[in-house]
Structure 1
C-alpha cells in the first residue's frame, strides 16, 4: 500500500477575494529523481496570504485563476526520488516554498531569492501548501532535528525571513543596538534573532500595546509605542527611551512594518554611519527623508525572503533554544477551519495561527 493511499489531498483554494473553497485535488506525482513528496502537517498564515484572500493581488501578482493558499509549512516525507540521498520516507521537514531556476545570473551569483523565474508557493500563478501533499526538490526540504516539533517547523519560514534581514542584510554583530519597527511575527522574530546575534539593546516599536507587551516578554529589551507626532519627535522619543543618545542613535534600524511613518522615523533613529534595512512591504511610493540618509551616510539595504543557508540557520536557532518560536503560536486549528483562521489573523486576534493538514488527526 502506498503511503498516500486513503489519504486526502484536500486543498484550501482562493477563487477570488473572500471566495474560498475546499477541493479534493490529485496527489502530486514525482517528476524528477531529485524530488520528494511531503504530507503537510502544519501551515502558518502569513500577511501575504491574508492580503491575497482580501484583495486578490499583491502589486503585479494578481490571482487570475483559483490558487491554493499557504507557504509556511512543515510535513513528513512520504515518497522520495531515486537520486534523493539526504532524506527518506518518515523524515520530518521544514519546507522552503520557493524554487529558483538555478541557471540565471542571480542564482549563479548566490542570490537565488532574486531569481526572476522563481516559482513561489501561493504567489500567482503557483499553488501553495495548504493541501494534503506537496511536491518539492529535496534540497529545499530541511530535516528537522528530534527536538524541533512539526509545529515549530512551520515557523521556520518566517524565522528564515528574519535571519535574512538581521544576519545577511543588517549584519548585526555582538554589542550593537537594534531598533525594529513593527511587532508583527517577522518584527518579533527580528528582535529574537538580533538578540541571538548578541545585540545588547533590542527595541521593539509598534502602535499596539498588547504587541509591545508580548515583544517585551519575547525578546525586546526596550519597547516604544509610536505616537501621533512627527517622525522626528517619535525618533527622539525612541532614542531617549532606549538610552541611545550617547551612541548618536541605533547602530541598526529594521523596518518590519512597511508603514510610511515608521520608515520616516527610522532614518532619524539610526546613528550616523549606521545601517537601515527595509524588510516590511507597504505602498510602492512614499515620502522618504533623503537628507537624513545622505548626511548620516547611512547604509541602506532591502531584504526579500531568504537565501542560501538562511533556513539551516533558522532551524539551528530553534534547535539550540536561542529562539523560542513556540511562544508565537496562539492557536492550532483543524483544516476545515482554515477560513476562520484567516479571519482571526485579519482582526489581529492572534500572533501566529497554525492550520493542521487535512490528514492530521
Structure 2
C-alpha cells in the first residue's frame, strides 16, 4: 500500500537568493536568503555580471573606508548588470527580459539635496556594498525603476557592469565643464583614470595625458584611449610637473588636472601642473590627510573640486557613449571568475593583476552570450 507521504502533492520550494557574504573582516561565506520581493515602482534584477572595485577590496582587507565601518555581515559588489525578472505594478518603462545596468544607490528623493539635483550627496543614500547596505554579489537585486538603465542591443552585459565606473568618470569630466579643445592631465592609470581619459577624449579634449609610475599601465592607457602618457619619477613634485609640461608643450600648464590616485606625490605634482585659473578635480581616495600645496591653489586662483560617485544623467550619458561607440570598455576586462570562485577574484584584484576583474552571477556559465 502506497504511503500517504508519497501521495501527497509536492509543494514548490521558494526560490532562494544565493549571496556571497563578507562574514567578518578577511572571511567570506556563501549563504542562501529568501528571494527579494518588489514593491510598486521597483524591479527585480537577476544579476549576471559584477565588476570588482577597490572599495570592495578595502572592506574585505580592512573592514572600513573612512567613516564607513563593516559592523555586521555584508554582501559586497556594486558594479553590476543583469536581466529584469519581475516588475512592480507602477513600473512604466521596463519589462521582464530587459537587459540593464544597475545604478546601485537609492536616495531619499525628498531632501533639499535631492530636490536640488545632487542626489549623490543625499545623507540618506542607501548605496550597495556600503555599510550597512548589502551589495550585488547575489542572484537577485531589487532597485527602483529609475536606477536601472536599459542597455542597447549591441552593448554586452559585461560592458554593462562597467557602466558604474564609467559613470564615475563621466561625473568627473562633467565637473570640469566644457573641455572641448582643452589640455587635460589625469594622474593614475587604474580603471577610473583610464575611463576619465576615454571620456575626456570623447568630450573633445585637445590633449589628454595619463600619468603613472608603471610603464605597462601607461602602455595600456595609450592603447585604450589614445591618450599620451608620462611616467613620474621620484624627483620632487615641482620637477615632475616642470618635466611634464615641457614634454607636452604646456607653456602655461594644463587646463584641467584630475587626480585618480589619492597619492600625495600625484596630488602635489598635479597642482603644480595646473595652469593659472585652471580646474583641479580630486577623484581618487587614498590617505584621508595629505600635505597639500594650498598656496598654489590661491596663487593660481584655481578651482578645487571633489568628485563623489555620479549624479543625474551620468548613467544615461555613460550608456550613450557606449551606444555611439565613442567609448569601448571591452579591453578593460582582463580577468573573469565564476560565482563559486569569487574569493579568487578578490585575491586577483588585491594582487593588482590586470585591469578589471569580473565575477559572473550564480549559475551563469563562463561562456554565456551576453
The reply to whether TM is greater than 0.5 is: yes
Map residues 13-28 of structure 1 onto 2, 5 A cutoff.
13-28=21-36
- Please state how far the C-alpha of 1:285 moved relative to its aligned partner: 1.4
Q: 1:156 to 1:139 in 2, by over 3 A?
A: same
2:360 aligned with 1:356: yes
- Please state how far the C-alpha of 1:330 moved relative to its aligned partner: 0.5
2:338 aligned with 1:334: yes
CA contact (8 A) 2:14 2:34 kept: no
CA distance in 2 between partners of 1:6 and 1:99 (Å): 27
The CA RMSD over aligned residues, in Å, is: 1.3
- Please state how far the C-alpha of 1:241 moved relative to its aligned partner: 2.0
Q: 1:129 to 1:293 in 2, by over 3 A?
A: same
Q: Deviations over 1:216-274 (max 9, x none)?
A: 111143111111111101111111222212xx010100000011111111110010011
CA distance in 1 between partners of 2:178 and 2:13 (Å): 48
- 1:91 is matched with 98
CA contact (8 A) 1:179 1:250 kept: yes
CA distance in 1 between partners of 2:67 and 2:198 (Å): 32
- 2:214 is matched with 208
Map residues 80-159 of structure 1 onto 2, 5 A cutoff.
80-159=87-166
| 3-state SS of paired residue (1:36) | strand
CA distance in 2 between partners of 1:360 and 1:320 (Å): 28
CA distance in 2 between partners of 1:346 and 1:319 (Å): 32
2:299 aligned with 1:291: no
- 1:275 is matched with 279
| 3-state SS of paired residue (1:9) | strand
2:74 aligned with 1:67: yes
CA distance in 1 between partners of 2:212 and 2:20 (Å): 32
36, 47, 51: which one aligns with 1:40: 47
List gaps (5 residues or longer) in structure 1.
none
CA contact (8 A) 1:161 1:305 kept: yes
CA distance in 2 between partners of 1:162 and 1:6 (Å): 40
- 1:250 is matched with 254
- 1:196 is matched with 202
CA distance in 2 between partners of 1:310 and 1:183 (Å): 21
- Please state how far the C-alpha of 1:75 moved relative to its aligned partner: 0.5
2:322 aligned with 1:318: yes
CA contact (8 A) 2:254 2:274 kept: yes
Q: Deviations over 1:155-186 (max 9, x none)?
A: 0000000000001x111421101000011100
Number of residue pairs the alignment of both structures matches = 354
- Determine which structure has more spread, i.e. the larger CA radius of gyration: 2
CA contact (8 A) 1:78 1:90 kept: yes
CA distance in 1 between partners of 2:221 and 2:178 (Å): 19
Q: Deviations over 1:280-313 (max 9, x none)?
A: 1111111111111111110111100000000000
CA contact (8 A) 1:13 1:21 kept: yes
TM-score (norm 2): 0.94
- Please state how far the C-alpha of 1:123 moved relative to its aligned partner: 0.3
- Please state how far the C-alpha of 1:359 moved relative to its aligned partner: 2.8
